[in-house]
């Protein structure tokens, strides 16, 4: 007998043109086509979206929170990447 | 006020509005019966979406013919103009999907023609055709999965297609007030349904598409037994409080 | 980077715990892959699952009236509402799954009685007015309970609740509007509305759970910021909100002891019959067997459908997991 448990999918919805797809939640579906339709019915029934992505949850590779420090800390000591690092004389515009 | 059945307008526009409106109303009601019983939660949401689309269409159409609630709640069985197909009980999920497939392909092509024309139903059909395209897509995807799924689902789906086949002929009986190429509609429907059914490894039934009791009968107010019970349930509360507002 | 389980390694639990406690104290959200105490995880799974189960069992008493709704407008509203409940169930199962427990396992626990759903849904909907009373009182109580959950310490639960609360406000309003139409309608309709309020008022108050003194999970949940207010606090808030709303409806609340207490700045209300609450909780409510029976039947009768779709996906190379 086939396993009746459907895999889990992550759903990303673009709420309107010009915005990125954002994670809306997850759902179960037997395959990608059905996942897309289920996502449409579930996550956009109040016209919340204009475009949907579905991704098998198993296909998502995530950074581990255990490695949070080595993974993200190095970026924190490079303030020169941010525009506020630089002092500009008052009155200089369009910079 | 509840004693005399509401009489139908004789104008062809009203006749057509009732035929289309009753189809949508009755099918919506049947789909509403699934609430809390669907095979998987995601499908609760999907079936309700379709039911809500159809109910919206029904309300617009019935309002063209009169007061939507008077028409829905105070007509007797013999005054309803829906095709017999849509009143057929839900049965198992395969039966519901077969009913959806037969009907939504029909409705999609019919509304497509109406939307392209310049008749009084063009604006409504133009809006509804998008909804119906989705209903059709839903039915086709499930037909494929049930037909080409397991041995059991295949058998159930084939039984469902066979059982409902005799109610499909009526869908192509001309309805007064609708300027539609009914021959083209039937051919388009047959081609589309055949394609899906065969892709689903199923067989299109080879029996007659209608019999003495189904050929255009629903449009004349001749319905099947389960329909009377459906109406009894649907109408009883409204009829129990004559003149009340809700 | 990819294969490490959240709690892999023999790291010091107390160090983890300190980070967790600090995050909760700082009102930061805990996210799925963060370390969290086992008991926190278990509490959340239990609570979110119970919440999700309540949504899908809660479809039944209202779906009971979809086919009998007395106008097409009411029918559309009710169908959309019951559909929302299925949707809310799905958002919540989705949140529970981030804690590592699959939906199938949760449904299995519901079907076998190992996990609970809100007792309120073990009461029957006897008349059309019950649909209104559920919207106004039951959804009203649920919203009072749920709004604080939008700030719950667990991120996915809080986010699901934000979405749910937005959608719930339509539920409560439609219930109120439905009752108002009945209350201002014919004599029979008014009586129907009053009867429904008489039957649903006390069970709604029980939805906030046992009195604080007897609530077994409350203290820890408050410390973890899963829960923000005590049962009694929320119950009082709900009573205070309902009293003027009932007056506007032209309906009375069935409690002779209900009166404004100037000193407290709140309404006093009568004693709740906790024996009934416990009895319904133990399975002796009017609809316990019926509700779980229908749920189980839908699941069992749908098995062949779910299997078919999975088989199709496997055959056509579309399966992923």
d(CA C187, CA C76): 26
Question: Rg of chain B over CA atoms, in angstroms?
Answer: 17
Distances (CA, A) of C127 to C131, C191, C308: 8, 11, 39
**B154 vs A contacts (CB less than 8 Å):** none
Mean pLDDT on B100-128: 96
pLDDT attached to residue C320? 52
- Poorest-pLDDT segment among A27-31, B85-89, C7-11, C274-278: C7-11
Nearest to C192 by CA among C70, C289, C18: C70
Q: Classify strands A8-14 and A22-28 as parallel, antiparallel or unpaired.
A: antiparallel
* Residue at A68 is within a domain: no
A13: left (phi over 0), alpha (psi -120 to 50) or beta: beta
d(CA C164, CA B99): 33
Pick from C87, C311, C318: which is nearest to A45 by CB? C87
Task: Say whether residue A4 is in contact with chain C using an 8 A CB cutoff.
Answer: yes
pLDDT attached to residue C222? 87
**B140 vs A contacts (CB less than 8 Å):** none
d(CA C204, CA C138): 6
Task: Say whether residue C2 is in contact with chain A using an 8 A CB cutoff.
Answer: yes
Confidence grade of residue C214 (pLDDT, cut at 50, 70, 90): confident
pTM for this prediction: 0.92
pLDDT attached to residue C2? 43
What does the mean pLDDT of chain A come to? 86
CB contact under 8 A, B141 and A34: yes
* Residue at A84 is within a domain: no
- Kind plus residue range of the DSSP H or E element containing A27: strand A22-28
**A8 vs C contacts (CB less than 8 Å):** 97, 102, 321
> Does A3 have pLDDT greater than 60?
no
Confidence grade of residue B202 (pLDDT, cut at 50, 70, 90): very high
| Spans of all domains in chain B | 12-240
CB contact under 8 A, C91 and A71: no
Scanning B94-113 for CB atoms below 8 A from C yields none
> Does A1 have pLDDT greater than 60?
no
> Does C1 have pLDDT greater than 60?
no
ipTM for the predicted complex:
0.94
Q: What angle do CA B206, B208, B214 make, to 5 degrees?
A: 140
Scanning B21-40 for CB atoms below 8 A from C yields 25, 29, 32-33, 35-40
Per-residue pLDDT reduced to its tens digit, B43-77 = 999 999 999 999 999 999 999 999 999 999 999 99
* Residue at A25 is within a domain: yes
Pick from B29, B52, B241: which is nearest to C189 by CB? B241
What does the mean pLDDT of chain B come to? 94
CB contact under 8 A, C321 and A42: no
pLDDT attached to residue C11? 56
pLDDT attached to residue B10? 57
- Closest-CA residue of C relative to A26 is C94
Any idea which fold B12-240 has?
Ferritin (1.20.1260)
Confidence grade of residue C251 (pLDDT, cut at 50, 70, 90): very high
**B46 vs A contacts (CB less than 8 Å):** 37-38, 41
- Closest-CA residue of A relative to C160 is A25
How many domains does chain A fold into? 1
What lies within 8 Å, CB to CB, of C280 at 6+ separation is C119, C122, C123, C288
Confidence grade of residue C318 (pLDDT, cut at 50, 70, 90): low
d(CA B146, CA B106): 21
* Residue at A80 is within a domain: no
Cβ atoms of C308 and B149 closer than 8 Å = yes
* Residue at A47 is within a domain: yes
What does the mean pLDDT of chain C come to? 92
CB contact under 8 A, A30 and B42: no
- For chain B, percent helix, then strand, then coil, each to nearest 5? 65, 0, 35
CB contact under 8 A, C303 and A66: no
The fraction of chain C above a pLDDT of 70, given in percent, is 95
**CATH code for the domain in which residue A52 is found:** 3.10.20.520
Confidence grade of residue C10 (pLDDT, cut at 50, 70, 90): very low
pLDDT attached to residue B1? 40
Best of B39, B46, B52, B65 to disrupt the C interface by mutation (most C CBs within 10 Å)? B39
pLDDT attached to residue B9? 53
Task: Say whether residue B74 is in contact with chain C using an 8 A CB cutoff.
Answer: no
pLDDT attached to residue C3? 42
Distances (CA, A) of C104 to B146, C204, C243: 21, 30, 41
Nearest to C140 by CA among C18, C51, C242, C20: C242
* Residue at A87 is within a domain: no
Best of C61, C72, C85, C170 to disrupt the B interface by mutation (most B CBs within 10 Å)? C72
pLDDT attached to residue A68? 61
Per-residue pLDDT reduced to its tens digit, C27-84 = 999 999 899 999 999 999 999 999 999 999 999 999 999 999 999 999 999 999 999 9
> Does C6 have pLDDT greater than 60?
no
Mean pLDDT on B214-235: 93
> Does B7 have pLDDT greater than 50?
no
d(CA B46, CA C306): 15
Work out the minimum CA distance from B34 to partner chain A, whole angstroms: 16
pLDDT attached to residue C140? 96
């Amino acid at each position: 007998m086939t396993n009746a448990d459907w895999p889990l999918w992550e759903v990303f919805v673009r709420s309107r043109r010009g915005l990125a797809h954002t994670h809306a939640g997850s759902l179960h579906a037997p395959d990608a086509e059905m996942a897309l339709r289920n996502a449409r019915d579930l996550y956009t029934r109040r016209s919340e979206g204009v475009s949907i992505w579905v991704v098998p949850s198993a296909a998502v590779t995530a950074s581990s929170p255990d490695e949070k420090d080595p993974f993200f800390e190095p970026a924190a000591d490079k303030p020169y990447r941010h525009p506020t690092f630089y002092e500009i004389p008052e009155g200089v515009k369009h910079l | 006020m509840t004693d005399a059945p509401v009489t139908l307008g004789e104008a062809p526009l009203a006749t057509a509005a009732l035929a289309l409106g009753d189809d949508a109303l009755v099918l919506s009601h049947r789909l509403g019966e699934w609430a809390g019983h669907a095979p998987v939660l995601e499908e609760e949401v999907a079936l309700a979406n379709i039911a809500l689309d159809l109910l919206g269409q029904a309300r617009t159409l019935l309002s063209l013919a009169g007061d939507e609630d008077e028409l829905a709640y105070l007509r007797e069985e013999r005054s309803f103009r829906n095709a017999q197909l849509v009143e057929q009980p839900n049965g198992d999920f395969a039966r519901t999907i077969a009913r959806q497939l037969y009907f939504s392909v029909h409705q999609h092509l019919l509304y497509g023609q109406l939307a392209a024309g310049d008749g009084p139903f063009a604006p409504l059909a133009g809006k509804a055709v998008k909804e119906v395209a989705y209903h059709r897509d839903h039915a086709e995807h499930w037909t494929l999965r049930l037909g080409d799924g397991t041995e059991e689902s295949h058998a159930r789906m084939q039984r469902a297609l066979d059982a409902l086949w005799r109610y499909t002929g009526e869908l192509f009986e001309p309805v007064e007030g609708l300027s539609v190429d009914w021959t083209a509609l039937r051919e388009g429907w047959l081609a589309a349904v055949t394609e899906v059914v065969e892709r689903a490894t199923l067989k299109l039934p080879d029996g007659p598409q209608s019999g003495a009791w189904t050929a255009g009968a629903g449009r004349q107010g001749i319905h099947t037994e389960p329909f009377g019970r459906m109406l009894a349930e649907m109408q009883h509360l409204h009829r129990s409080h004559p003149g009340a507002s809700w | 980077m990819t294969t490490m389980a959240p709690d892999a390694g023999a790291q010091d639990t107390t160090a983890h715990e300190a980070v967790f406690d600090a995050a909760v104290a700082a009102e930061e959200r805990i996210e799925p892959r963060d370390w969290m105490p086992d008991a926190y995880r278990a509490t959340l799974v239990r609570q979110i699952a119970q919440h999700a189960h309540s949504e899908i069992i809660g479809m039944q008493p209202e779906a009971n009236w979809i086919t009998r709704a007395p106008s097409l407008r009411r029918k559309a509203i009710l169908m959309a509402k019951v559909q929302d409940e299925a949707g809310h169930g799905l958002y919540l199962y989705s949140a529970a799954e981030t804690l590592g427990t699959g939906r199938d396992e949760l449904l299995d626990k519901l079907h076998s009685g190992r996990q609970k759903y809100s007792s309120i849904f073990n009461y029957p909907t006897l008349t059309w007015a019950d649909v209104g009373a559920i919207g106004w009182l039951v959804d009203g109580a649920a919203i009072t309970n749920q709004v604080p959950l939008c700030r719950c310490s667990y991120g996915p639960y809080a986010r699901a609740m934000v979405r749910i609360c937005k959608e719930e406000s339509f539920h409560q309003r439609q219930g109120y509007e439905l009752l108002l139409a009945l209350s201002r309608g014919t004599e029979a309709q008014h009586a129907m509305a009053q009867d429904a309020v008489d039957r649903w008022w006390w069970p709604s108050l029980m939805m906030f759970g046992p009195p604080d003194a007897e609530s077994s999970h409350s203290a820890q949940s408050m410390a973890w910021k899963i829960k923000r207010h005590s049962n009694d606090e929320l119950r009082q808030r709900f009573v205070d909100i309902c009293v003027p709303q009932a007056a506007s409806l032209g309906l009375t609340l069935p409690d002779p002891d209900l009166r404004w207490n100037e000193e407290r700045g709140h309404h006093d209300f009568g004693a709740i019959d906790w024996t009934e609450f416990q009895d319904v909780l133990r399975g002796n409510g009017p609809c316990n067997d019926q509700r779980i029976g229908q749920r189980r039947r839908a699941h069992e009768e749908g098995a062949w459908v779910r299997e078919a779709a999975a088989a199709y996906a496997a055959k056509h190379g579309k399966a992923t997991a």
